[in-house]
Each structure stands twice: as structure tokens, then as C-alpha cells.
Amino acid sequence: MADMERINTPVETAIAEHFAGAKAVLPGDAGARETAFARFAEAGLPHRRVEEWKYTDLRSVMREAAPLAPALADDDAVAALEASPWFAGIEAARIAIANGHVVASASDFADLPEGVSLETTAQALASGHPDLAALGAIPEASENIAYALNSAFMSDGVVIRVAAGTKVETPLHLRFVITGDSAVATATRTLVIVEKGASVTLLESHDSADDVAHQPNNVVEIVAEDETEIAHFRIDGHGSGAQALSTLTAHLGAHVAFDTLNMIARPGLVRHQVFMTFAGEHSKGGVRGATMLGERQHADTTLFVNHVAPHCESRELFKTALDGNATGVFQGRIAVAKEAQKTDGQMMSAAVLLSDGATMNNKPELEIFADDVLCAHGATCGELDDDLLFYLMARGIPRPEAEALLIESFLGETVEEAVDETDEAMREALMGVARTWLAARG
């Protein structure tokens, strides 16, 4: 059976045709792209019989393969970027990426914080930038099909280096938008290397028009050298038609403090993957997320947290609110290698179902080979607490508002944990996503 050739679906055939057309014009080493594409060609689009894609069957939901988007005219790109509301209240150095291509005129490249150097991924690929050697630091990510497709098609993005010892005060804001009436695919690759002792806050926001089946595939790779402090706040505001794949990798050295928080609201289909590897001792990593879904929306968050080095601490907290006929997926795998003694890993996924038609799939997994660790996981799924609702309503708060208060507080725990308590503006920027969603829910 192993020798039998797999028969491509029409969508897989279309992707292969897109690749054949694109590989000659995409920047960088065509051979590397072909190697990555071969991985996809061999496996095909993931489907429900592939364990890690069990709940997100791309083969059945991807009915078309959109063509890779060309760069937009500058005016169109700027207009789309101006319409994107996320993190509006946060002063940041902007890095604008529209339809998968960097828009220099809408970015603050001339005014980057001290110690931050940046090049576009397109330039880096074309010139064979040495930093690109840091890509693919986590092998499990490289084997992933969404990542492999991104490696085959990646067209732009940014390569950022934060110089050793630099405390970057102004956050760097990666602003992604996709615009246009006909569906396009994008493949961006961003690499952030944070040198020893540096600290930085990364904001990442995504927007695409509703009702258009755009197919973004974004990869952000973070390499955290020893003694770094990195906060990453992400807002996934893709429109209700989008089929969005995203991958975050975080390779942590020793004595690192890394936190990522992802807010997902109203997507068509989202698969967000996080690969975090503890390669050095005494590091702390927090991976959190709040997901808000309605209608027939689908969001899948899949984590692989790999404790290779001892004495590290990982915290994962995911909250999902589901309305309508939405489907939520949380897959969280924590692996603790034999050498990773004294690992402290705590993972929790909680979902609240706001309708009879909503579905939540929780799949936590622990693989522990060390014998002196503290690891726990939990998953809950339920309705809003009737007693709490009654208490709020007994004070005159109408049911929709009472529900909104409870949902906001339920989701808000992720933000409370991830954001410094003095950073009111950041908390508001993130909770604003929840409030907007709740207001639209009515």
C-alpha cells in the first residue's frame, strides 16, 4: 500500500499548479521550496484521519485553492491598513503587511526603536541573509503541513533582530490585512531573533474582509536567546469568510520569560498552531488564548509545548465562548523529555457553550518521560452559570447584558494573566476585542 500513489483532490492539484507557477518568481532558494512542497505533495491536505488534524478537516473544508496574492497598489494597501482597528490605542512601531507583502509606506521603518534592525523577508530570501539559518528551529513545526506549505510559498514578511541587552520600550506592531473582492492566498514568514538579555513586546493583528474566502498562511518564528523577556499579543480578526492558517514557533533559551496571548473573534475558519520549545533551563513560557465564535465558525488552537531542558515552567490557559453552530477545538500536547526534570507544566482549556448547536472539542495530552515533574491539565465545557445569571438579573441587568458581563469575565481571565496589571491600555485593547464581539452578539 505504501507504494501506491495518492490521488490528488482537485484542490491539491490546484495548489500544485499554483506552486509550479510561483516557484520561478518567488525570491530565494527554489530548491528549498521544492523540498517543502514535496512534503505537502506527499501527504496532501490534512484530513480527519490524520490525528493532529482530526477536528479540522482541511481536505473537506477547502473547496478552492486561491491564487497567491500579488502586491497591492500602495493606495489600496494603505486604505485597508487604515481600516484595521486593532491595538489602535497602543503607541507602537508599525510594520504593515497587506495581502502578504510588506508596505513600507505604511510602516515605521525609518523610525524603529533603538537596537531593532529589520529587513523584509523578500529581501532576506533574495540576498540569502544569514539570519534565515535560524528558521525551522523547531523540527516538529517544520514537519507540519501548514508550515511546509508556508515554506513552499512564503513571499514576504520581516526578519527582525533585537540587539543584545536592548530593552525595547515601544512595541513592534505587525499589522496584517488582506483586501479585495476575490479570494487570494498569502504566505508570510516572520522571524524575530531576540539576542541575549534583550526585551521586546510584539503585537500582531490580522484583518480580512468578511464573506471573501481569503486563505492566509502566516508563520511567525521567535528565537529567544538567554535572559530575554518577550511578550506577544495577537488579535486574529480575519473575516467570516477566511480560511486562516497560522503558526507561531518559540524557541526559548535559558532564563527566558515568554508570553503569547491570542484573541480570535468571528473567523470563518482558523487553525492557530503554537510550537514552544524549552531548550534552556529556568525559563517560563505562557501560552494563552481567548476565542469567540458564532454562526458556523470554526477555530482550532493546537499547541505543542516541548520541555527539553530542566527547571522550566509552562502555563497554558485557553477560554472559548461558542454561540450558534460554531465549533471550537483545543489540542494541547505537553511533552517532557527524560532530561527535563523539575518541569512545572499546567494546562487548562475551558469552554462555555451559549447555544445548543455549538460544539467544543478539547484534547489535552501529556507525554512525560522525566520522573520528577509537576504537570497537570484540565478541560471544562459547560453553559453559563444560572445562579450567577439570576444574581445579575435580580439587580435589574437584562439577560443579554448579564450574559455579556459573565462571558467577558470568563474570557478576561486570559488577558488578566498575560498582561501586566499596570498596563491598562493593553488590557483595554485586548478586552475591546471581546466587547466588540459581545456587542455584535446582541
Q: Shortest gap between Cβ of 319 and another protein (angstroms)?
A: 10
Cα gap 405→304, rounded to integer Å: 32
> Which of 55, 410 has the CB closer to another protein?
410
Distance of CA 43 to the CA centre of its chain: 23
Q: Go through 368-399 and write b for each residue having 16 or more CB atoms within 10 A of its CB, e for each that does not.
A: bebeebebebebebeebeeeebeebeeeeeee
How many of the other CB atoms lie within 10 Å of CB of 255? 20
**What is the footprint of another protein within residues 402-431 (CB under 8 A)?**
402, 405-406, 408-410, 412-413, 416
Cα gap 188→176, rounded to integer Å: 10
Q: Which of 390, 424, 435, 440 binds another protein (CB under 8 A)?
A: 390
- Beta strand spans in 60-184 (E): 93-98, 101-102, 116-120, 158-162, 172-178
Task: Kindly give the pairing relationship between strand 229-237 and strand 257-265.
Answer: parallel
Q: Shortest gap between Cβ of 398 and another protein (angstroms)?
A: 5
> Which of 295, 416 has the CB closer to another protein?
416
Q: Shortest gap between Cβ of 368 and another protein (angstroms)?
A: 30
Q: Shortest gap between Cβ of 360 and another protein (angstroms)?
A: 20
Binding range to another protein, per CB under 8 A, among 208-216, 257-265, 289-297, 400-408: 400-408
The string of DSSP codes covering 333-392 is: EEEE-TT-TT-EEEEEEEEEE-STT-EEEEEEEEEE--SS-EEEEEEEEEPPPHHHHHHH
- Cβ-proximal residues to 173 (8 Å cutoff; 6+ apart), any chain: 87, 90, 92, 93, 94, 95, 202, 203, 204, 205
- Cβ-proximal residues to 123 (8 Å cutoff; 6+ apart), any chain: 27, 129
Q: Shortest gap between Cβ of 423 and another protein (angstroms)?
A: 17
> Which of 48, 435 has the CB closer to another protein?
435
Q: Which of 399, 424, 425, 440 binds another protein (CB under 8 A)?
A: 399
Q: Which of 42, 391, 424, 435 binds another protein (CB under 8 A)?
A: 391
**What is the footprint of another protein within residues 350-389 (CB under 8 A)?**
386-388
Cα gap 426→424, rounded to integer Å: 6
Q: Shortest gap between Cβ of 436 and another protein (angstroms)?
A: 17
Q: Shortest gap between Cβ of 205 and another protein (angstroms)?
A: 24
Binding pattern for the stretch 133-172 against another protein, x by CB under 8 A and - elsewhere:
----------------------------------------
Q: Shortest gap between Cβ of 317 and another protein (angstroms)?
A: 13
Q: If you search the block for the grid coordinates 469552554, which residue do you land on? A: 351
Q: Report the Cα–Cα distance between both ends of the chain, in Å, rounded.
A: 53
> Which of 82, 417 has the CB closer to another protein?
417
**What is the footprint of another protein within residues 180-239 (CB under 8 A)?**
none
Residues binding another protein: number (CB under 8 A): 23
Q: Which of 114, 383, 401, 424 binds another protein (CB under 8 A)?
A: 401
Cα gap 345→90, rounded to integer Å: 32
Q: Which of 1, 24, 356, 395 binds another protein (CB under 8 A)?
A: 395
> Which of 5, 387 has the CB closer to another protein?
387
Q: Which of 4, 25, 88, 394 binds another protein (CB under 8 A)?
A: 394
Q: Which of 82, 84, 80, 88 is nearest to 430 (CA)?
A: 88
Cα gap 217→422, rounded to integer Å: 34
Q: Shortest gap between Cβ of 316 and another protein (angstroms)?
A: 19
Q: Which of 113, 249, 236, 104 is nearest to 171 (CA)?
A: 113
Binding range to another protein, per CB under 8 A, among 136-144, 368-376, 393-401, 417-425: 393-401
> Which of 63, 399 has the CB closer to another protein?
399
In angstroms, the Cα distances linking 66 to 28, 187, 246 are 22, 12, 16
> Which of 295, 417 has the CB closer to another protein?
417
The radius of gyration of the chain's CA atoms, rounded to the nearest angstrom, is: 21
Q: Which of 421, 418, 425 is nearest to 232 (CA)?
A: 418
Q: Which of 43, 377, 393, 428 binds another protein (CB under 8 A)?
A: 393
Give the footprint of another protein on this chain (CB under 8 A): 386-388, 390-399, 401-402, 405-406, 408-410, 412-413, 416
